[in-house]
Amino acid sequence: MAAELSAGMGAIPDNTGTTFRVWAPNAQEVSVVGTFNDWSPEADALLREDNGYWAERVEGALVGHEYKFSITAGESMLRMDPYVRQVTNSVGNGVIYPHDGDPWLVPDDYRTPPWNEMVIYELHLGTFTDQPGESAGNFQSAIERLEHLQRLGINVIELMPPMEFAGERSWGYNPAHPFAIESNYGGPDAFKQFIKAAHEKGMAVFMDVVYNHFGPSDLDLWRFDGWSENDGGGIYFYNDWRAQTPWGHTRPDYARPEVRTFIRDNALTWLEEYRVDGLRWDATAHIRNVWGGSDPGANLEDGWTLMQWINDEINSRQPWKVSIAEDLLGEAAITETTANGGAGFDAQWDSRFVHPIRSVLTIRDDQSRDMTSVARAIDHRYGDDGFRRVIYTESHDEVANGSARLPEEIWPGNASGWHARKRAALGAALVFTAPGIPMIFQGQELLEGQWFRDDHAIDWARLDTESGVVRMYRDLIGLRRNVDGRTAGLTGQHVRVHHVNQTDKVIAFYRWDKSGPNDDVLVVANFAEQRHDAYSIGAPSEGTWDVVFDGDAPVYHESYEGSGATQAEARPSSLDGMPASLTVGLAPYTAIILTRSEPAN
């Protein structure tokens, strides 16, 4: 009989039936009930396999049929399949769904963007829609806005968790059924259509995964087969103090092989069955430490080795796929290779960029701005790779939970005012010119001032009212990706912060890849309200330097006047430790970007 059963976990359909397999080591009896057997617990019993697994093939149980497991362990319990791919809703029934990967999700001419050219757009499906109020967004409404992202130049979409959660609205960080796609968003078929549509427009899809806790509500994993200790959650969870997280006492037991495999299988499902291009792991500090901090007595070694194992699996099976950690403790080992004892992530969200940059931009008094902290934020990296970090000034966490959008934090109550829009733009210029993978949060390109919440849709009317801001982001993204072939230095590893003026609040840095014309890039940023008509900085070489971006250009807002000349001639006069120097105009709170397109004289 065992030889006739399909491999895998959950409901594995074939042409005429379905193999059901579940881990329930403390169960006395297990059966599957559903629309195919009139929900009868006596109709289709599962047979006990080794190590607490139960399985059986049920003829006539087909794709689309609803089902649950009936588990007897002193009492009878109905449980949703832990591996269920589709549900009617978070407290409803499972739906038999194919496990096969769909190659049509990736067009023949599609390639995941190189890491050094990625520009990430973080997106929440429920609010990325034209329909505010009661009509929550879904995959279809997001598909309808993909052209906007394509025009903007985005080549990576990062989805906040789309797994099935409790209720109709959520940020997504409370997964009730980790393998199922949220029914209110359209379920797994709609998700695949979204992935296909994004790939056809040349955009990768990353998705957030939550492995630091599950639920805590609508959670059938809780005491799944009836067993628990210490009032804990049973076989899928720690049943002692290690279960504690800020989101409930539902941390998975990373020491149990079956739970480790469950999480590994989940990660690979998105990458291999759904063909997503990368994963962003939520709050990895709470996978490797009970309190999410540096207390060695609370370290979870099994959580650390779990992350290593999964990242090694990804690298061995699909090395072009990306694995990103949200750790936020500045720990270099997160993005170190597993061979060197690291967790093996490709990149991590960089708290050493976002926090100092937001702090400098939101301070009211110019003289209080610390240019040294800006220099450190630009120069920071993990190991020897500048692209091991994701840099940003807005994310779902930075613009909620008591915080606001950056323009609103700069000038509360006047997010569209001159000071707010100028300093927010200055932050954006740093995101797209400092080493790292740049990321923006939905609506940032519209100068959205509202703090993020899951019942407030994006105000798409701002595409017209803030068209200058949209154009500015499009121009910056084009430069960051070297679309015109003039700014290759922004895709390179190298940076040198060579000018830090603490008095006038001006900073300048040099970016290059291989160095030379159409490669060398200079960025000059003025963090004060003072205008400079002729400001001198060091340059890496003589010759003509073109201003390819001016954050004060009138095309970005009707009140802007421009910084000055669109070209600067670098003379053989050393300055700032550089062999040459040039003079530029600098408008208040403005960044300019220069590139050398002519060979040196």
Tokens 């269920």 correspond to 84
Distance CA 57, CA 24 (A): 17
Q: DSSP readout, 506-566?
A: EEEEEEESS-STTT-EEEEEE-SS--EEEEEEEESS-EEEEEEEETT-GGG-TT----S-S
Q: What is the mean pLDDT of each run of 10 residues along the chain (601 residues)?
A: 78 97 98 98 97 97 98 96 98 96 90 96 94 74 97 98 95 97 97 97 98 97 98 98 97 98 98 97 98 96 98 97 97 97 98 98 97 98 96 96 92 96 98 98 95 91 96 98 97 98 98 95 98 98 97 98 97 97 98 84 51
Helix axes 301-317, 257-268, angle to 10 degrees: 40
Query: Which among 107, 80, 75 has a CA at the least distance from the CA of 10?
Result: 80
- Output phi, psi for 388, to 5 deg: -85, 5
**Residue 112 half-sphere exposure, CB side, CA atoms within 13 Å?**
14
What is the predicted pLDDT for the residue at 583?
Answer: 98
Contact of 122 with 396, CB cutoff 8 Å: yes
Query: Which among 160, 185, 209, 10 has a CA at the least distance from the CA of 90?
Result: 185
Contact of 511 with 433, CB cutoff 8 Å: yes
Distance CA 310, CA 8 (A): 18
Domains in the chain with CATH codes = 2-100 (2.60.40.10), 488-596 (2.60.40.1180)
- Gyration radius of the chain over CA positions: 26
DSSP three-state, residue 420:
helix
Rounded to the nearest 10°, the torsion over CA 447, 450, 456, 461 is: -30
347-349 and 389-391 as β-strands: parallel, antiparallel, unpaired?
Answer: parallel
Contact of 126 with 136, CB cutoff 8 Å: yes
- The H or E element that residue 500 is part of is strand 494-501
DSSP three-state, residue 348:
strand
Peptide bond into 216 cis (omega under 30): yes
Q: Residues 6 or more apart from 242 whose CB is under 8 A from it?
A: 251, 290, 300
What is the predicted pLDDT for the residue at 2?
Answer: 44
Tokens of 69: 């497991």
Eight-state DSSP code of residue 382: B
Strand-pairing partners, residue 72, are 29, 76
532-539 and 543-550 as β-strands: parallel, antiparallel, unpaired?
Answer: unpaired
Q: Which amino acid is at 578?
A: M
High-pLDDT (> 70) share of the chain, %: 98
What is the predicted pLDDT for the residue at 101?
Answer: 85
What is the predicted pLDDT for the residue at 4?
Answer: 80
204-209 and 156-159 as β-strands: parallel, antiparallel, unpaired?
Answer: parallel
Q: DSSP readout, 436-462?
A: SEEEEETTGGGT--SPP-TT----TTH
Strands (E), 229-290: 278-281
- CA angle 334-328-478, nearest 5°? 90
What is the predicted pLDDT for the residue at 1?
Answer: 43
Strand-pairing partners, residue 566, are none
Tokens of 534: 């002729």
**Residue 183 half-sphere exposure, CB side, CA atoms within 13 Å?**
18
Q: Residues 6 or more apart from 301 whose CB is under 8 A from it?
A: none
543-550 and 567-570 as β-strands: parallel, antiparallel, unpaired?
Answer: antiparallel
Distance CA 335, CA 339 (A): 12
Strand-pairing partners, residue 389, are 348
Contact of 176 with 217, CB cutoff 8 Å: yes
Distance CA 298, CA 483 (A): 47
Distance CA 160, CA 245 (A): 20
Q: Residues 6 or more apart from 378 whose CB is under 8 A from it?
A: 430, 434, 435, 495, 497, 507, 509
Query: Which among 526, 535, 523 has a CA at the least distance from the CA of 495?
Result: 523
Distance CA 195, CA 276 (A): 7
Eight-state DSSP code of residue 254: T
- The H or E element that residue 497 is part of is strand 494-501
Distance CA 499, CA 489 (A): 18
**Dihedral sign computed on CA atoms, order 329, 440, 275, 212:** positive
Query: Which among 344, 327, 432 has a CA at the least distance from the CA of 383?
Result: 344
